[in-house]
Structure 1
Amino acid sequence: MRILIAEDDFASRTMLQRFLEDYGDVDVTINGEEAVDVFNLALDDNEPYELICLDIEMPEMDGLKALKTIRDKEKSMGVRPDTEVKIVMTTSKDSTKEVLDAYYWSGCNDYLTKPIDLQKLTALLQKYGFSKE
């Protein structure tokens, strides 16, 4: 499985990377702009990501804009909704508006609040059929 983590906080990024390495190949970026660029490169190379963990608050481009850009790219390429990359938004805020924006307007699959509860993350991974390698 190919996994992309977009997280500007070093501790959160490192924890996610170490945990998710058991599930597949993990790439990391530190802002939304880099995440979109790496996502597009993966599509161009015909090696798309199956999972993206995307922080909402990041420099350069926030996670909500990155999410919308990624979903727009998938739609323009004719990617069916059932084969889209699974995107889990992460946030240190439990803001109803941010969560609703991510779900209803931009198309994320799930969200987790920080600090990330690894049991909840494991449950999400199982929900989408991802298992340790």
Structure 2
Amino acid sequence: MKSLVVEDDFFAGKLLTKYLSALGEVDTAANGEEAIVAVVKQINETHRNYDLICLDIMMPKIDGQQALKGIRELEKKGLLKEEECAKIFMTTAFSDRDQVVEAAKYGCTAYIIKPVNRNKFYEALYDHGLTKINWNNQ
């Protein structure tokens, strides 16, 4: 599995990177602008997106909602099949209903509240077909 962690908070980014590095390769970006650059590079080089993108909502330059919309547009422009598109988990410290609705509208896969609980995070990965380990049975 190849993942992209997009997080402007150093410690939150390190935690997600630690969780995901046990499952494969992890790239990082500090804001939505860097995320879009990374996605363009990934699609151009492999003709598929990352398997998973963990995308913080509140970030400088381009926020997570704008980045989500931009990433989905890039996938469409790249004519990617559904299985070539990323699963996108929005990560945030806030459980704002409007944010959740907006993220769903733009095609997010899951909405994860920070601080991210390892077992719940791995369960979400399993639920969305990103790992074969069922953390509910651990």
Q: What residue number does 1:27 align with?
A: 27
Report the identity percentage. Answer: 38
Q: Judge conservation of contact 1:23–1:130 (CA < 8 Å) in 2.
A: no
SS at match of 2:80: coil
Between the aligned partners of 1:42 and 1:119, the Cα distance in structure 2 is: 28
| TM-score (norm. length: structure 2) | 0.90
Structure 2 unmatched runs, 5+: 133-138
**Length-normalised TM-score, structure 1:** 0.93
1:54 maps to 55
1:64 counterpart residue number: 65
Partner-residue secondary structure (3-state), 2:119 = helix
Structure 2 match to 1:38: 38
Deviates more, 1:45-54 or 1:12-21: 45-54
**8 Å contact 2:7–2:31 — kept in the other structure?**
yes
Runs (4+) off by over 2 Å: 80-83, 128-132
Q: Which stretches in structure 1 are left out of the alignment for 5+ residues?
A: none
Pairwise CA distance, 1:82 = 4.5
Deviations 1:89-125 (A, max 9, x none): 0011110000100002x11001101111111111111
Quick one: distance in 1 between partners of 2:52 and 2:73? Answer: 17
Distance 2:128 2:45 in 1: 24
Aligned to 1:7: 7
CA distance in 2: counterparts of 1:4 and 1:103, whole angstroms? 19
3-state SS in 2 of match to 1:23: coil
In 2, Cα distance between the equivalents of 1:101 and 1:116?
A: 21
Deviations for 1:29-69, whole angstroms, at most 9, x for unmatched residues? 11000000001101111163100000000001000000000
Of 112-121 and 77-86, the range deviating more from structure 2 = 77-86
Q: Does 1:76 align with 2:73?
A: no
Aligned twin of 1:95? 96
Task: Read off the aligned partner of 1:129 and give its amino acid letter.
Answer: G
Ranked by relative contact order (alpha carbons within 8 Å, sequence separation 6 or more), the top structure is 1
Task: Count the aligned residue pairs.
Answer: 131
Query: Structure 2 counterpart of 1:53, which letter?
Result: C
Q: CA deviation at 1:80?
A: 2.9
